[in-house]
Structure 1
Amino acid sequence: MFPVRRLRWHYRSQHESLIAFSNHTFYGGDLVLFPSPHKKSDSHGIRYSRVSNGCFVSGSRWNLEEAKAIAEAVRKHFEQWREESLGVVAMNAQQRQQIENAIEALAKEDPLFQTWLEEDALGEDPLFIKNLENVQGDERDVIFTLMTYGPSEPGGKVFQRFGPINSDVGRRRLNVLFTRSKKRMHIFSSMGSEDIVAGASAKRGVQALRDFLAFCETGSLHKTERDTGRPPDSDFEIAVMATLRDAGFECAPQVGVAGFFIDVAVIDPGNPGRYLMGIECDGATYHCTKSVRDRDRLRQAILERLGWRIHRIWSTDWFKNPRAELQPIIRELNSLKTFSNQ
Structure 2
Amino acid sequence: AGRLWGELHEALTRRDLAAWEALLDEGARLAALRPDAAARTRLSDRLRAVAPLWADAILDRPGDAAACGDPARAAAAWRWRQAQTWLDDLHADGDLALLGRQLGDASEQARRLVLDTARRAARLGLATRLGDQERRALTGWVQALDRLGKGTGKYAPHWRAQARAHMRAAMGAVPVWIMPTYRVMESFDPGSDDLFDVVIVDESSQCDILSLGVLSLGRRAVVVGDDAQTSPEAVGIDRARVGALIDAHLPDVAQRSLLDVEASLYDTAARVFPRTVVLKEHFRCLPDIIGFSNRFYDHQILPLREDPELAIGAALRPVRVADGARTQTRFGDANPAEAQAIVDQVVACCADGAYEGMTMGVVTLLGAGQPRLIEHALVERLGEREFSRRALRVGDPYQFQGDERDVVFVSVVADDNRSAATRRRDLQRVNVAASRARNQMWVFHTVDPATLRDDDVRRQLVEYAYAGAIPQAEGRLADRCESEFERAVLREILARGYRVRPQHPVGRYRIDLVVEGSPGHPAPGHPAPGHPAPGAAGTDPAGGRARGPRLAVECDGDRFHGPDQWEADLRRQRILERLGWTFLRIRGSEFYRHPTRTLDGLWRRLDELGIRPDVGG
Q: TM-score, normalised by structure 2?
A: 0.41
Distance 1:96 1:312, change over 3 A: same
Structure 2 counterparts to residues 1-342 of structure 1, below 5 A:
2-13=274-285, 15-23=286-294, 25-34=295-304, 36-38=306-308, 41-42=311-312, 45-57=315-327, 61-80=333-352, 81-92=355-366, 93-107=368-382, 113-117=383-387, 119-120=388-389, 126-150=391-415, 158-161=416-419, 165-198=421-454, 204=455, 206=456, 208-219=457-468, 236-247=485-496, 253-256=502-505, 259-265=508-514, 277=550, 279-281=552-554, 283=556, 284-285=560-561, 288=565, 290=567, 296-302=573-579, 304=581, 310-315=582-587, 318=591, 320=594, 321-327=597-603, 329=606, 332=611, 334-335=613-614
Q: CA–CA distance in 2 between the matches of 1:73 and 1:261?
A: 34
Deviations 1:21-40, CA, capped at 9 Å, x for gaps? 222x2223222222524357
Distance 1:338 1:182, change over 3 A: farther
Q: CA–CA distance in 1 between the matches of 2:363 and 2:370?
A: 9
CA contact (8 A) 1:317 1:325 kept: no
Distance 1:95 1:289, change over 3 A: farther
Q: CA–CA distance in 1 between the matches of 2:515 and 2:424?
A: 46
Cα RMSD for the two superposed structures? 4.0
Q: CA–CA distance in 1 between the matches of 2:472 and 2:506?
A: 7
1:90 Cα deviation from its structure 2 partner = 0.9
**Which residue identity lines up with residue 262 of structure 1 in the other structure?**
I
Deviations 1:59-82, CA, capped at 9 Å, x for gaps? 963110111122223333433435
Q: CA–CA distance in 1 between the matches of 2:482 and 2:552?
A: 13
Q: CA–CA distance in 2 between the matches of 1:338 and 1:115?
A: 43
Higher relative contact order (CA 8 A, sep 6+): 1
The DSSP-based 3-state class of the residue aligned with 1:187 is strand
Unaligned runs of 5+ in 2: 1-272, 518-546
- How many positions carry a matched residue from both structures? 298
CA contact (8 A) 2:317 2:441 kept: yes
Q: CA–CA distance in 2 between the matches of 1:293 and 1:56?
A: 54
Between Structure 1 and Structure 2, whose CA radius of gyration is higher? Answer: 2
Q: CA–CA distance in 2 between the matches of 1:267 and 1:128?
A: 37
Q: CA–CA distance in 1 between the matches of 2:548 and 2:459?
A: 32
Unaligned runs of 5+ in 1: 108-112, 151-157, 199-203, 269-273, 305-309
CA contact (8 A) 1:241 1:250 kept: no
Q: Which structure dedicates a bigger proportion of its chain to strand? A: 1
**Which residue identity lines up with residue 6 of structure 1 in the other structure?**
V
CA contact (8 A) 1:38 1:44 kept: no
CA contact (8 A) 1:160 1:197 kept: no
Q: Which residue of 2 aligns with 1:110?
A: none
Q: CA–CA distance in 2 between the matches of 1:303 and 1:46?
A: 26
Q: Which residue of 1 aligns with 2:201?
A: none
**Which residue identity lines up with residue 126 of structure 1 in the other structure?**
A
Distance 1:53 1:209, change over 3 A: same
Q: TM-score, normalised by structure 1?
A: 0.70
The DSSP-based 3-state class of the residue aligned with 2:299 is coil
Q: CA–CA distance in 2 between the matches of 1:193 and 1:244?
A: 48
The DSSP-based 3-state class of the residue aligned with 1:138 is coil
CA contact (8 A) 1:282 1:313 kept: yes
Q: CA–CA distance in 2 between the matches of 1:96 and 1:184?
A: 20
CA contact (8 A) 1:55 1:190 kept: yes
**Which residue identity lines up with residue 98 of structure 1 in the other structure?**
L
Distance 1:127 1:266, change over 3 A: same
**Which residue identity lines up with residue 579 of structure 2 in the other structure?**
I
